[in-house]
């Protein structure tokens, strides 16, 4: 298989951070592991409204115990601008409501409001499609019982790979494999013990429904360091994602 070395390298890049974090936490006896089983059911839409401009729309219903109990509800929107055919900048807003879950839950349900700036780059290595996502977040979190919001900064980087399973390129009505790794880092005066915020490692089977839509069914291994720096969540998550694009721009 001509692309085997490339795929092995990509697999290591995508999955090594999660493996290293698991090893580190196992070697530090004072850290507490909190294992959970979750389900995330998500819609992602990027809809073009002009030659270079578009709108991002996103809804995520996140459930604890796969589907039984609430975990989070996330709404995210933004304005997209195509810098080049392979680079897109987004400025957006998100609202997140988090519910208590797990063996070390929050004291109650709490909201978060967020502004973010994002750069996405796309390319490929042979048959493997690659995307890089760089995101900065300005977060206002109101902890349970608090009178005011706490301001936090966070940086995120994600690399995602997709591999067609039928031909040299991904066409409608064809399956594909997808994998990504995303690392989160907090910074600023209000970030205490958890400068490392979380890591997400993901693998999925996808299906390209049409030129404008695709579906992914996958497994997400999410490691979250709680604010106290002691409790580490290991969230084993079923992830169902629907991606959709529409073009409202005038066609010449």
Residue spans of the chain under pLDDT 70? 1-29, 251-252
DSSP string across 54-109:
EEEEEEEEEEETTTTEEEEEEEEEEEEEEEETTEEEEEEEEEEEE---SSS--SS-
Task: Give the H or E element holding residue 225.
Answer: strand 213-225
Q: Where are the domains of the chain?
A: 4-247
Sign of the Cα pseudo-torsion (191, 114, 22, 4, in order): negative
pLDDT for 193 equals 78
pLDDT averaged over every residue in the chain = 90
CA atoms of 201 and 250, how far apart (whole Å): 39
pLDDT per residue as tens digits for the range 159-217? 999 999 998 899 999 999 999 999 999 999 888 877 899 999 999 999 999 999 999 99
Structure letter (DSSP) for residue 149: P
Structure letter (DSSP) for residue 251: P
Q: What is the CATH number of domain 4-247?
A: 2.40.160
pTM value?
Answer: 0.88
Q: Which tokens hold the place of 195?
A: 């400068």
pLDDT for 16 equals 54
pLDDT for 94 equals 98
pLDDT for 11 equals 58
pLDDT for 192 equals 80
């Amino acid at each position: 298989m001509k692309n085997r070395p490339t795929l092995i390298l990509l697999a290591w890049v995508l999955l090594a951070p999660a493996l290293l974090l698991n090893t580190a936490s196992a070697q530090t006896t004072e850290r507490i592991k909190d294992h959970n089983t979750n389900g995330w059911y998500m819609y992602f839409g990027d809809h073009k409204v002009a030659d270079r401009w578009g709108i991002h729309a996103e809804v995520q219903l996140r459930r604890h115990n796969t589907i039984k109990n609430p975990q989070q509800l996330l709404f995210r929107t933004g304005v997209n601008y195509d810098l080049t055919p392979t680079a897109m900048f987004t400025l957006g807003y998100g609202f997140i409501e988090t519910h208590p879950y797990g063996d070390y839950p929050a004291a109650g349900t709490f909201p978060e409001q967020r502004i973010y700036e994002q750069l996405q780059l796309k390319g490929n290595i042979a048959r493997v499609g690659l995307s890089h996502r760089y995101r900065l977040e300005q977060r206002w979190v109101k902890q349970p019982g608090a009178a005011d919001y706490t301001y936090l900064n966070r940086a995120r980087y994600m690399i995602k790979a997709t591999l067609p399973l039928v031909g040299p390129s991904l066409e409608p009505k064809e399956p594909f494999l997808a994998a990504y790794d995303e690392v989160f880092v907090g910074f600023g005066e209000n970030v205490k013990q958890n400068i490392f915020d979380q890591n997400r490692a993901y693998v999925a089977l996808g299906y390209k429904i049409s030129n404008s839509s695709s579906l992914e069914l996958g497994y997400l291994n999410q490691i979250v360091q709680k604010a106290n720096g002691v409790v580490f969540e290991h969230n084993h998550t079923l992830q169902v994602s629907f991606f959709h694009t529409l073009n409202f721009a005038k066609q010449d």
